[in-house]
Each structure stands twice: as structure tokens, then as C-alpha cells.
Amino acid sequence: MSQEAPESVLLAEALRELRGRTELSLAALAAQTAFSKSSWERYLNGRKLPPRSAVEALCRVAGVPAARHVALWELAEVAWSGRGARPGAVDSEPEPSRSPWWRRPLVRVAAATGIVACVLGAVLAVALRPTGEPHSPPAPRARSAARQVLCHGAGCTGQEPLATGCGDVEVQGAPKVLRTLRRSGVEVQIRYKPECGAAWVRVSGQRVGDRFEVSAPGVAAQHMVIADKYVTGMYRSSPMVAVKAGDTKAIEACAEFAGSASRECFRP
């Protein structure tokens, strides 16, 4: 089965979204898993079916439960192996009327097709059921093909870096890290992408109750609150703010850490 099977396309899109959540380059992703950069490129582009262990490894790096993506992998594996292919054409010549109904070829084909449909439907129900964990919107196909950011300047304010391509290291270059603050195991970065004319904060090591803010002159400040344990242990990015005329020195990031009454702010 070719990589154009719908099941394979669905899996590849889900894996690209996961990779986008990590905000890791392919080389960095390879360094954190047992799979090479070239292998990840083939897996994410849908040119090769990844092993199940690769799907599980990407889920681990992205910090999300693996059940949904493993179910998608199982569906794609059926398509790639050909086990879900339609049966070959059967002789349409009618059998004698005395033949029992269960021996009629077309009936057997219909029954077999119905069974396959039920099984695939059950797998899809598992694969597509809501998981409850926060997630970025799936990346539009047009962005994947054109590899262009989807906003600039004021149009980026309030939008998510990954959903617009601004936070994607593979779309029009990597974002610039203007400054990094480390406090008690939490890392806060001010990130900026000239192609978007916008900035945001990306954090790691965050704990429940931490609060982050990014602001720039002339636009509304954007906030991010770590509300539950499901958004700890992974990279998280705030919504973006527009930066006028590339004035990166005017960007300000602030952090309020859980258990502390103080608020710490810094600039590039």
C-alpha cells in the first residue's frame, strides 16, 4: 500500500503535529530518540511507515499519552501491509438456485467487507476520540506544502506560534532566542521570528500554578497559565505579540512562579 492511503496521511499529519509541539528540529529529535534525522524526515512526510516504537518515542518527547497515536499507527499499518485491501473481483455468474445462501460469492464478499468496515470503524473511534489533553490545532495542509508562515505583525497578536508556523523551525527558518531566564529548574525564553514580526515566551520545566506574560508597545499583553499537570513536562509557548519595526529591545517577558509572591520581568 502506498503512502497516499488515507490512513497513512492521517498518521503522518498527527506525527507532524506532535513534532511541532516539541519545537525541536529533526536533528534534535533524532538526538532524543533512537531514530535518525533521515528516518524522521521519511516518517513525518509519510514516505515510510514508522515502527510503533518511533510513534511511542515521539509521544514521550512531546509529553502526550501514546494511546491515540498508537491507534492511528495500527490503522496505517493495516493499510501499508495490504491486509485491509479489497478482495479481488469475483465471478458474477449466478450459482444454481439450490446452492445454500452462505456459499454465494457476492454475499461472502459483502459480509467480509462489512466485518472489515466494523473493525476499522472501531479503531477510528479509539484513534479520534477526545483525549482531554491540550493540543495545538492541526497544521493546515497548505502550510506544509508552501512552508510559509501564516501571519505577520498585528495579525499575529494573540495567535499560537506553532499553528501559524512562526514557532516551527522548519518553516522559513528557526525563531531567534533573544534571551533565556532560568529559575529553580524553569527555563523561560523570549523568542522572536522576523518573518512573523512577532514574539512570544517558550517555557520548560514549568509547574502547576506558574504564570507567564509577554508584552510589546502598542499591543495587548499575552498570558499563559500552567493550569494542570498535563501541561507540565513539555515545551509550552504563549500566544504572540506583534513587534513594531523589529524593535526587539522593547519586548518584555514576566514570570510568576507557583509558591512565590514575586513577579520577575526581563527584556532581551
Instruction: Please identify, among 96, 128, 160, the residue that sits at the C-terminal boundary of a domain.
Output: 128
How far, in Å, CA of 44 to CA of 261, rounded? Answer: 43
Q: Residue type at 173?
A: G
* Domain enclosing residue 243, as ranges: 145-266
Stretch 189-198: mean pLDDT: 96
- Please check whether residues 105 and 170 belong to one and the same domain: no
- Please check whether residues 32 and 118 belong to one and the same domain: yes
6-21 pLDDT, tens digit per residue, is 888 889 888 988 887 7
- Please check whether residues 118 and 41 belong to one and the same domain: yes
Q: How many Cβ atoms are within 10 Å of 180's Cβ, its own excluded?
A: 12
Examine the pLDDT at 215 and tell me if it is beyond 70. yes
How far, in Å, CA of 173 to CA of 183, rounded? Answer: 28
Stretch 167-195: mean pLDDT: 91
How far, in Å, CA of 115 to CA of 237, rounded? Answer: 44
- Quickly tell me which residue has 511511542 as its cell: 56
222-242 pLDDT, tens digit per residue, is 999 998 886 776 788 999 999
Examine the pLDDT at 219 and tell me if it is beyond 90. yes
Q: Residue 112 carries which DSSP code? A: H
pLDDT for 259: 86
- Please check whether residues 85 and 158 belong to one and the same domain: no
Stretch 166-171: mean pLDDT: 83
Examine the pLDDT at 103 and tell me if it is beyond 70. no
Q: Is residue 121 part of a domain?
A: yes
The DSSP bridge partners found for residue 255 are 212, 264
- Please check whether residues 50 and 116 belong to one and the same domain: yes
pLDDT for 114: 53
Q: Is residue 1 part of a domain?
A: no
Q: Are 45 and 82 in contact (CB under 8 A)?
A: no
DSSP string, 30-77: HHTSSS-HHHHHHHHHTSSPPPHHHHHHHHHHHT--SHHHHHHHHHHH
What whole-number percentage of the chain has pLDDT above 70? 74
- Please check whether residues 157 and 232 belong to one and the same domain: yes
In total, how many domains does the chain have? 2
136-169 burial: b if 16+ Cβ within 10 Å, else e: eeebeeebbeeeebbbbeeebbebbbbbbbbbbb
Task: Give me the long-range contacts of 46-51 (CB less than 8 A, separation at least 24).
Answer: 46/3, 46/8, 46/9, 46/11, 46/12, 47/3, 48/3, 49/3, 49/8, 49/11, 49/73, 49/76, 49/77, 49/80, 50/15
Segment (H or E) for 224: strand 222-225
Q: Which residue has the higher pLDDT, 165 or 108?
A: 165
Q: Is residue 134 part of a domain?
A: no
How far, in Å, CA of 152 to CA of 6, rounded? Answer: 33
For residue 214, which of 183, 186, 242, 194 has the smallest C-alpha distance?
Answer: 242
Q: Is residue 137 part of a domain?
A: no
Q: Is residue 77 part of a domain?
A: yes
pTM of the model: 0.53
- Please check whether residues 85 and 192 belong to one and the same domain: no
pLDDT for 22: 77
Q: Are 57 and 64 in contact (CB under 8 A)?
A: no
Q: Is residue 136 part of a domain?
A: no
pLDDT for 110: 43
pLDDT for 90: 40
106-143 pLDDT, tens digit per residue, is 434 444 445 445 545 555 555 555 544 444 444 444 44
pLDDT for 95: 40
Examine the pLDDT at 81 and tell me if it is beyond 90. no
Stretch 202-219: mean pLDDT: 94
22-79 pLDDT, tens digit per residue, is 777 788 889 889 999 999 999 998 899 999 999 999 998 887 888 989 998 999 999 8
pLDDT for 94: 42
User: How would you classify the pairing of strands 186-193 and 176-183?
Assistant: antiparallel
Q: How many Cβ atoms are within 10 Å of 92's Cβ, its own excluded?
A: 7
Biggest alpha carbon distance in the chain? 88
CB-based contacts of 207, cutoff 8 Å, min separation 6: 186, 226, 232, 257, 258
pLDDT for 122: 55
